[in-house]
Amino acid sequence: MTKTGAAYHHGDLRAALVRAALELLEESGASELSLRGVARRAGVAPSAPYRHYPDRDALLSAVAAVGYRELTEKLATAHPSPSTPDDLAAVAVAYVEFARQRPALFRVMFGGPCDRDSSERAAATAAVSAYVGAIAERAFPQGDKEALSTAIWALVHGLAFLHLDGKLDSSDPSGVASRVRTSVHALIAASASLAAFADAEPMGRQSEDGSLRSSPRPRNP
Amino acid sequence: MTKTGAAYHHGDLRAALVRAALELLEESGASELSLRGVARRAGVAPSAPYRHYPDRDALLSAVAAVGYRELTEKLATAHPSPSTPDDLAAVAVAYVEFARQRPALFRVMFGGPCDRDSSERAAATAAVSAYVGAIAERAFPQGDKEALSTAIWALVHGLAFLHLDGKLDSSDPSGVASRVRTSVHALIAASASLAAFADAEPMGRQSEDGSLRSSPRPRNP
DNA sequence: GTGTAATGTAAGCACCGTTCACATGGTAGA
DNA sequence: TCTACCATGTGAACGGTGCTTACATTACAC
């Protein structure tokens, strides 16, 4: 009971609300998601959702969780196990494409201070994180896995957001894709040439020891 | 008249509203900015702001513009002309620090689909972009300047957002800083080793041609 | 069958963005 | 200097929002 599958008066309103919310996000393209609007869409009184979600944020978290799952699917489809720069670029393109194709959902997923209480949301986030971490480990076997995964995620995530916010032109999909590819490749290449300058110390394993004379400790939380 | 300096009944309400908005953002830490709340803070009727800004978004754009200026200042203070990995890391840390210290303002600046009409906002954005571009050009003289600047901006921007959204723990400031440094360094170092493997094709200018044989069609849902 | 807890409803609260008719007052032109 | 004008601020109002509370209904356990 109270479980997801149960069907009382309405027939699993809990799931119907998430579905309605996703539809509204898809249609209105960008704007805010009103709980009353979702209820209206589901053909139910404005107070009905409160039987299933404590507040608007909880519903949004459920919606975000669906978004995380669909995002991981899309990334896996783009490339199941990326290891070359081209593979990485393909996954990056898929990530940004997701943000561009479903901007409203993407904003629900990443736009606001998220509900740390939603275990559903936390789990879905962890899945994305794990996927990115796996990529990092495969692509850069000799690096600090956690640092690399966050760096890669950040690069891709930032590209997605800058396009979404109009800081980078995203009118032409293929243009966006090529820009993402170029960015990834360019950063890799340029980093290589820069590293050549700074190779007083050996590259590729200095996450633990001497670093680059800059940061005395690598992490700590 | 209607210029910024003019002082009518209230004495430059236009600027006072922006000031009040910034104060509220600083205090409430995160939440949304209500136009009525800003008016209240400025000691003025809820309808008064409409004499100076056509709607809430316009006021928010003015606030965002201030944020952009302060961000560029902070970056310049962190390092006026970064060119080494350490320099870049220092600027990256400053960027993320800004987002962490003033999360509400940062969200106003980057959180929503921005007002393309606001020339003030556009100009301030351009300033940030130019600064990042200058960094890229100085640090990677032989690279594609535009691609590099977007890549770098994206990396840093993504780091800021992931911390802000709780995807990365940001409870300890020094921990955040060291993580940012580590991420930047690790990406540079690992990219270098990876680039050594994949140097079959020339890196840094394959934006238009090659593609990746990955996604035949971009969408269809 | 009946009782009970889960589910949906209706009405209402305080707040929001926005508009509009109106009051006020600084300044330009006589 | 007086006056008219127009920029500025006010107050009330409209529809919308999130959320709560009292009430109606309905499915299932016994």
pLDDT 10s digits, A128-155: 888 888 887 887 777 777 777 888 889 9
**Residue B215 falls inside a structural domain:** no
Please report whether residue A214 resides in a domain. no
* Domain-located, residue B207: no
User: Is A82 in the same domain as A181?
Assistant: yes
Residue A2 in any domain: the answer is no
* pLDDT given for residue A221 in this prediction: 30
Whether the pLDDT of residue A183 is over 90: the answer is no
Mean pLDDT of chain A: 79
- The reply to whether residue A155 touches residue B153, judged by beta carbons under 8 angstroms, is no
Please check whether residues A82 and A159 belong to one and the same domain: yes
B113 part of a folded domain: yes
Residues in chain A closer than 8 A to B71 (CB atoms):
none
CA distance B22 to A13: 41
Higher pLDDT, A171 or B111: A171
Question: Does residue A89 sit in the same domain as residue A29?
Answer: no
Please report the pLDDT score of residue A6 as a whole number: 39
Residues B37 and B48 both lie in one domain: yes
In a domain, B220, yes or no: no
Give backbone dihedrals phi and psi of A214, rounded to 5 degrees, phi first: -100, -60
Does residue B180 or residue B144 have the better pLDDT?
B180
Per the CB < 8 Å rule, is A90 touching B212? yes
| pLDDT value at B207 more than 90 | no
Average pLDDT over residues A183-209: 55
Of A85 and A24, which is predicted with more confidence? A24
Look at chain A and report how many structural domains it folds into: 2
pLDDT of residue A196: 56
CATH of the domain at A140: 1.10.357.10
Which nucleotide minimizes the distance between its C1' and the CA of B59? Answer: C17
* pLDDT range class, residue A29, cuts 50, 70, 90: confident
Is residue A22 domain-shared with residue A126, that is, in the same domain? no
DSSP A170: -
Q: How do residues B173-192 score in pLDDT, each as one tens digit?
A: 999 999 899 888 877 766 65
A109/C8 CA-to-C1' distance in Å: 29
| A11 has a pLDDT exceeding 50 | yes
- Which of A95, A191, A205 would you mutate first to test chain B, the one with the most B CBs within 10 A? A191
Same domain, B47 and B130: no
Q: Are residues B28 and B69 in the same domain?
A: no
CB nearest to B186's CB, from A112, A151, A190: A151
Residue A83's pLDDT band, with cuts at 50, 70 and 90, is confident
Higher pLDDT, B31 or B90: B90
Q: Does A69 map to a domain? A: yes
| pLDDT for residue B208 is more than 50 | no
Q: How confident is the model at residue A187 (pLDDT cuts 50, 70, 90)?
A: confident
Residues in A 186-215 with any Cβ partner in B closer than 8 A: 186-196, 198, 203-207, 211-215
pLDDT at position B114: 64
Residue with tokens 């996927």: A131
Position with higher pLDDT, A66 vs A10: A66
Residue B37 pLDDT class (50, 70, 90 cuts): very high
Which of helix, strand or coil describes residue A127? helix
Give A-chain residues touching B135 at CB under 8 angstroms. none
**Mean of the pLDDT values across residues B79-85?**
84
Which residue among B166, B190, B207 sits closest to A148, beta carbon to beta carbon?
Answer: B190
Residue of A nearest to B88 (CA): A214
- Does the pLDDT value for residue B117 go beyond 90? no
- Indicate whether A210 pLDDT > 60: no
pLDDT classification of A214: cutoffs 50, 70, 90: very low
Contacts of A166 in chain B (CB under 8 A): 113-114, 116
DSSP labels for chain B?
Answer: --STT---SSS-HHHHHHHHHHHHHHHHTTS---HHHHHHHTTS-TTGGGGT-SSHHHHHHHHHHHHHHHHHHHHHHH-SS--SHHHHHHHHHHHHHHHHHSHHHHHHHHSS---TT-HHHHHHHHHHHHHHHHHHHHH-TTS-HHHHHHHHHHHHHHHHHHHHTTSS--SSHHHHHHHHHHHHHHHHHHHHHHHHHTTTSPSS--SSS---SS-SS----
Residue B219 has pLDDT above 90, yes or no: no
Q: What residues of A are in contact with residue B169 (Cβ under 8 Å)?
A: 221
pLDDT score of A70 more than 90 = yes
Give yes or no: residues A167 and A64 share one domain: yes
Taking CB atoms and an 8 Å cutoff, what residues of chain A touch B221?
101
Q: Return positions of chain C under 7 A from a protein CB.
A: 6-12, 15-21, 24-26
Lowest mean pLDDT among A46-55, A103-112, A211-220, B186-195: A211-220
Q: Which residue is nearest to nucleotide D10 (CA to C1')?
A: B45
| Whether B179 and B79 share a structural domain | yes
Q: Are B32 and A113 in contact (CB under 8 A)?
A: no
- What's the pLDDT at A197? 52
Range of the domain at A183: 56-197
Q: Is residue B212 part of a domain?
A: no
Residue A112 CB lies within 7 Å of the nucleic strand D: no
**CATH code, domain carrying B42:** 1.10.10
Mean pLDDT of chain B: 79
Asked if B26 and B120 sit in the same domain, the reply is: no
- Rounded to 5 degrees, φ, ψ at B54 are -60, -35
- pLDDT at B1 > cutoff 50: no
Residues A46 and A60 placed together within one structural domain of the fold: no
pLDDT-based confidence at B136, cuts 50/70/90? confident
Interface of A with B in 49-68 (CB under 8 A): none
Average pLDDT over residues B45-66: 95
Is pLDDT above 90 for A93? yes
Whole-number Å distance between alpha carbons of B64 and B66: 5
Residue A47 sits in the same domain as residue A67: no
pLDDT classification of A111: cutoffs 50, 70, 90: confident
Identify which of B183, B195, B218 has the shortest CB distance to residue A97: B218
Mean pLDDT of B52-60: 95
